[in-house]
Amino acid sequence: MRKLILAAAALAAFPAMAQTPASGGGDTGGGIVRAAKPVTGEQVYVQVCQACHMADAKGGAGAGTIPALASNPRLAGAAYPIMIVTGGKGAMPGFVGTLSNAQMAEAITYVRTHFGNAYAKPVTEADVAKIAKPPAAGGH
């Protein structure tokens, strides 16, 4: 029940469509894009995280490596993945300002309980809020 209320609050705070204007600087498209907002952890994973970490969460390797999230002992504590997802690491951008705290919490919980990870305790929106820094101004 509590989760339902949280989800409803998240929906109210974040409309179902995210409206993204072209960001300042760089070669980018014109106009705005309205992408459907992912809500559940699985939806966030598939529509965002999977772009780099792959559908099987095994990452990939070329000139550099995108780390596997599958069977990853570094996910045992919640603080580490929260820090990375909110603040970014290397080529990976932080998602504060792009995703809501609730979306990040759902995604982290999903990854920590799937792909060979079994860290049952859910990560909450409040857990994320404690670690997330506000986004910096002036993209690019």
Partner 1 sequence: MDSGVRAPTRRQLLSAIAKVGGTAALYQAMTTLGHAAETQFHGPPNLSGARPGASVIVLGAGLAGLLAAYELRKAGYKVQVLEFQNRAGGRNWSLRGGDTYTELGGATQKVAFSPGNYLNPGPWRIPHHHRTLLHYCKAFGVALEPFIQFNHSGWIHSSQAFGGKPVRFNAAAADFEGNIAELLAKSVNAKALDDTVTAEDRDKLLEAMKGWGLLDNNYKYSPSLKASSHRGYERPPGGGVDGAPIASKDLYSLHDVLDPQVWTSMGFFMNHEMQTTMFQPVGGMDMIGKGFARQVEGLITYNAKVGKIAQDDKGVTVSWTDAVTGKATDSKADWCVCTIPLGVLGQMDLQVTDEMMAAIKAVPYSGQVKIGLEMKRRFWEEDDYIYGGHSFTDQEIALISYPNNNMFKDGPAVLLGAFARELGAYRLAGMTPEQRIEVALAQGSVIHPESYRKEFASGASVAWSRVPWSLGCCARWNEDTRKQHYQTLVGMDRRIVLAGEHASYVGCWMEGALLSSIDAITRLHKRALEA
- List beta partners, residue 65: 61
Is residue 26 near partner 1 by the rule CB under 8 A? yes
Interface stretch with partner 1, choices 68-76, 78-86, 111-119, 130-138 (CB under 8 A): 130-138
Is residue 15 near partner 1 by the rule CB under 8 A? no
Is residue 4 near partner 1 by the rule CB under 8 A? no
- Kindly tell me which residue out of 8, 9, 13, 35 binds partner 1, with binding defined by CB under 8 A: 35
Per the structure block, which two tokens stand in for 37? 């907002």
Check residue 138 and give left, alpha or beta (phi > 0: left; psi -120 to 50: alpha): left
- Kindly tell me which residue out of 2, 12, 16, 140 binds partner 1, with binding defined by CB under 8 A: 140
Per the structure block, which two tokens stand in for 138? 């002036």
Nearer to partner 1, 62 or 73 (CB): 62
Separation CA 106–CA 113 (nearest Å): 11
Measured in residues, the chain has a length of 140
Is residue 94 near partner 1 by the rule CB under 8 A? yes
- Residue ranges of the alpha helices (H) in the chain? 2-13, 41-44, 50-53, 79-87, 101-112, 125-131
Residues 107 to 126 in contact with partner 1, rule: CB under 8 A: none
- Kindly tell me which residue out of 7, 39, 46, 68 binds partner 1, with binding defined by CB under 8 A: 46
Question: Measuring CA to CA, which residue among 14, 121, 117, 35 is closest to residue 78?
Answer: 121
Q: Which residues bind to partner 1, rule: CB under 8 A?
A: 18-23, 25-35, 46-52, 54-55, 59-66, 88-94, 98, 135-140
